[in-house]
């Protein structure tokens, strides 16, 4: 096997493994060190008290052995106490990624087998055994999660301490050799356990992260699915509303026009000129409403399928309002309603001209519909501050002194699934699509639309449009000059 590949697979850390080491592994190690400290401290204290209580009993060699145990456990107790305090501080301040945390984990891992080596050396005074070193070699591998290469180095250091300290207390060369060899076995067991448990734990951490990533992805997919379901529900609601409009709101005016035509053909209303004019006027109004409804239906259907091109350009708001009022003047004259264009000339916005024209036609025709005979409708513009995107804008208002809108209907005014329309002051019909279409077109041009109304006093519908910037005006002037030059050259 390639040595470099083997080392990279088993010893070196990938970027993901480094992240695991700095987060999950160190956090777990600090938690275990804290718990281990609370177990070691009373045990070491108990050893010191018990050995001190029997210190003067036995031979001088036993006295020397007991004093060695007392010194070893006292030193170990103080070191563990300091480590416990530092570990508690690191956990409380969430400093598991610091170098201090890394140093504490390595120190504890090294301290346990070194302490075992010291106890084993002292025990040689009364007992030729390496049980203490064996236990303290196995314990850190089971408790702490250390990289195999780091564990190897720490175990070799601890074995060096074991090898040297044993020589001071074991006078028998044969026993000394045997225990040093057994110490190699104990060290090997610790290294093997550390290696196996490290690989097992890292595999578990990777699987946990993978499961968490899958859960996160699943939650994200569920959220997208819920959003898609909501969009589908909205689309179905819009489709149902469209069918309802086609089957009811469009069918009604067509039936009315058909009946009026039949009456005119059959002369059932009489032959007088006055009767014929009245029937013709009724038929004209019915066809006018039907035409307006069809126009909104087609526009709305195209907007739902993104088939309406968006072509923003510099437009004169005063001129656009003027053209719209000319288109709707006959409708207003039929109710003796005064249309007032209070927009100053040369108020230039940057928006799609066709969409803005549709907005004005719908809002003004709606105002005419719900304004009484002899009423007044004003169209005016106010300057506003920059929008949320920092673009200067204007506020356009279409206000009337008509019948107003009921408060309960305002909440559902732009909900196509709710039937919020009512008959006009002369029983003019409508579908409610016009306002919804206006809101969509205003938002498409980067604006917002709002409604203020009071029952019996009138309604003010306002919307914002972005003002044309200096760069856009300069581009328009340049285009106009080029067109002028082309016209002169062609002449």
Q: Looking at the domain assignment, is residue 321 inside a domain?
A: yes
SS3 312: strand
Q: Looking at the domain assignment, is residue 224 inside a domain?
A: no
**Cα 20 from Cα 97, distance rounded (Å):** 11
Tell me the mean pLDDT in the region 414-432: 63
Confidence band for 220, pLDDT divided at 50, 70 and 90: very high
Strand order in the sheet with 376-386: 338-341, 376-386, 392-400, 458-466, 449-454
Residue 353 phi, psi (nearest 5)? -60, -40
Question: How many residues are recorded in the chain?
Answer: 491
Same domain, 343 and 469: yes
**Cα 417 from Cα 207, distance rounded (Å):** 47
Residue 97 phi, psi (nearest 5)? -90, 0
**Cα 161 from Cα 175, distance rounded (Å):** 17
| Tokens of residue 355, six digits | 């969409």
Q: 327-348, pLDDT tens digit by residue?
A: 778 778 878 888 888 888 888 8
DSSP 371: S
Q: How many domains does the chain have?
A: 3
Tell me the mean pLDDT in the region 33-54: 92
Tell me the mean pLDDT in the region 137-156: 92
Q: 88-124, pLDDT tens digit by residue?
A: 999 888 888 889 999 999 999 999 999 999 999 999 9
Write the DSSP assignment of 255-292 as a string of letters: HHHHHHHHHHHHTTT-S-HHHHHHHHHHHHHHHHHHHH
Question: How many Å from the N-terminal Cα to the C-terminal Cα in the chain?
Answer: 87
Same domain, 258 and 210: no
Same domain, 291 and 362: no
Q: 147-162, pLDDT tens digit by residue?
A: 889 999 999 999 999 9
Q: 347-392, pLDDT tens digit by residue?
A: 888 888 888 888 888 888 888 888 888 889 999 998 776 656 667 8
Residue 411 phi, psi (nearest 5)? -65, -25
Tell me the mean pLDDT in the region 78-94: 92
Same domain, 200 and 322: no
Q: Which residues of 247-264 are buried (b: 16+ CB within 10 A; e: fewer)?
A: eebbeebeebbeebeebb
Does the pLDDT value for residue 1 go beyond 50? no
Contact between residue 367 and residue 459 where contact means Cβ atoms under 8 Å apart:
yes
Same domain, 338 and 481: yes
Q: Are strands 458-466 and 449-454 parallel, antiparallel or unpaired?
A: antiparallel
Domain boundary among 219, 242, 269: 219
Same domain, 150 and 277: no
Percent residues over pLDDT 90 in the chain:
28
Query: What average pLDDT is seen over the chain?
Result: 81
Closest Cα partner for 75 from 44, 100, 108, 54?
44
Same domain, 204 and 108: yes
Task: Say which residue the tokens 């456990």 belong to.
Answer: 73
Q: Looking at the domain assignment, is residue 148 inside a domain?
A: yes
CA 66, distance to chain mean position in Å, is: 65
Task: Say which residue the tokens 């009026």 belong to.
Answer: 260
Same domain, 10 and 136: yes
Residue 29 phi, psi (nearest 5)? -60, -45
Domain boundary among 219, 235, 262: 219
Tell me the mean pLDDT in the region 178-193: 93
SS3 190: helix
The confidence score (pLDDT) of residue 46 equals 94
Mention every residue, 6+ apart, whose C-beta is less than 8 A from residue 197.
141, 142, 145
User: Which of 231-235, 302-306, 413-417 tops mean pLDDT?
Assistant: 231-235
Q: Looking at the domain assignment, is residue 388 inside a domain?
A: yes
Same domain, 302 and 438: no
Same domain, 28 and 162: yes
Q: Looking at the domain assignment, is residue 425 inside a domain?
A: yes
Q: Looking at the domain assignment, is residue 239 inside a domain?
A: no
Domain boundary among 174, 196, 219: 219
- Domain interval for residue 392: 312-490
**Cα 447 from Cα 395, distance rounded (Å):** 9
Q: What is the largest CA-CA distance in the chain?
A: 145
The confidence score (pLDDT) of residue 479 equals 64
**Cα 60 from Cα 356, distance rounded (Å):** 108
Give the lowest-confidence range in 168-177, 209-218, 416-425: 416-425
Q: Looking at the domain assignment, is residue 240 inside a domain?
A: no
Give the lowest-confidence range in 204-218, 229-243, 247-261, 287-301: 247-261
Same domain, 436 and 367: yes
Contact between residue 358 and residue 300 where contact means Cβ atoms under 8 Å apart:
no
* pLDDT top residue among 486 and 203: 203
Same domain, 374 and 485: yes
Q: Looking at the domain assignment, is residue 358 inside a domain?
A: yes
The confidence score (pLDDT) of residue 283 equals 67
Q: What is the CATH number of the domain that holds 429?
A: 3.30.565.10
Does the pLDDT value for residue 268 go beyond 60? no
Closest Cα partner for 355 from 439, 295, 434, 441?
441
Does the pLDDT value for residue 85 go beyond 90? yes
SS3 451: strand
């Amino acid at each position: 096997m390639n040595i470099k590949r083997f080392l990279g697979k088993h010893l070196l850390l990938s970027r993901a493994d480094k992240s695991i080491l700095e987060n999950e592994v160190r956090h777990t190690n600090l938690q275990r060190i804290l718990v281990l400290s609370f177990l070691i401290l009373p045990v070491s204290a108990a050893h010191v008290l018990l050995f001190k209580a029997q210190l003067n009993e036995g031979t001088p060699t036993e006295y020397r052995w007991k004093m060695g145990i007392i010194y070893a456990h006292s030193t170990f107790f103080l070191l563990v106490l300091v480590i416990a305090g530092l570990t508690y501080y690191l956990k409380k301040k969430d400093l598991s990624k610091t170098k201090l945390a890394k140093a504490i984990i390595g120190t504890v891992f090294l301290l346990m087998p070194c302490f075992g080596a010291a106890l084993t050396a002292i025990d040689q005074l009364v007992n030729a055994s390496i049980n203490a070193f064996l236990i303290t070699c196995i314990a850190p591998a089971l408790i702490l999660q250390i990289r195999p290469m780091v564990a190897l180095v720490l175990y070799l250091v601890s074995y060096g301490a074991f090898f040297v300290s044993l020589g001071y207390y074991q006078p028998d060369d044969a026993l000394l050799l045997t225990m040093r060899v057994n110490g190699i076995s104990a060290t090997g067991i610790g290294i093997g356990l550390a290696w196996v448990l490290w690989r097992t734990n890292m595999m578990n951490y990777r699987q946990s992260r993978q499961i968490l990533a899958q859960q996160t992805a699943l939650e994200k997919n569920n959220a997208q699915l819920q959003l898609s379901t909501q969009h589908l529900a909205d689309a179905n609601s819009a489709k149902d509303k469209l069918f309802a409009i086609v089957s009811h709101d469009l069918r009604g005016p067509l039936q009315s026009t058909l009946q009026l035509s039949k009456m005119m053909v059959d002369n059932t209303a009489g032959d007088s000129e006055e009767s014929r004019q009245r029937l013709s006027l009724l038929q004209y109004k019915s066809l006018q409403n039907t035409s307006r409804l069809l126009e909104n239906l087609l526009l709305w259907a195209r907007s739902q399928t993104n088939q309406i091109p968006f072509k923003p350009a510099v437009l004169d708001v005063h001129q656009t309002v003027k053209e719209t009022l000319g288109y709707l003047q006959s409708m207003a004259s039929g109710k003796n309603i005064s249309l007032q264009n209070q927009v100053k000339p040369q108020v230039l916005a940057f928006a799609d001209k066709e969409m803005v024209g549709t907005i004005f036609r719908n809002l003004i025709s709606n105002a005419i519909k719900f304004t009484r005979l002899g009423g007044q409708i004003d169209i005016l513009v106010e300057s506003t501050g920059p929008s949320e995107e920092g673009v200067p804008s204007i506020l356009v208002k279409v206000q009337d002194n008509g019948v107003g809108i009921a408060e309960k209907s305002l909440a559902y005014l732009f909900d196509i699934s709710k039937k919020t329309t009512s008959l006009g002051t002369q029983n003019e019909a409508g579908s409610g699509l016009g306002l919804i279409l206006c809101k969509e077109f205003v938002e498409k041009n980067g604006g917002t639309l709002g409604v203020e109304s009071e029952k019996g006093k009138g309604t003010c519908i306002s919307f914002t449009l972005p003002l044309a910037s200096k760069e856009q005006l300069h581009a328009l002037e340049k285009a106009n000059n080029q067109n002028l030059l082309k016209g002169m050259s062609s002449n």
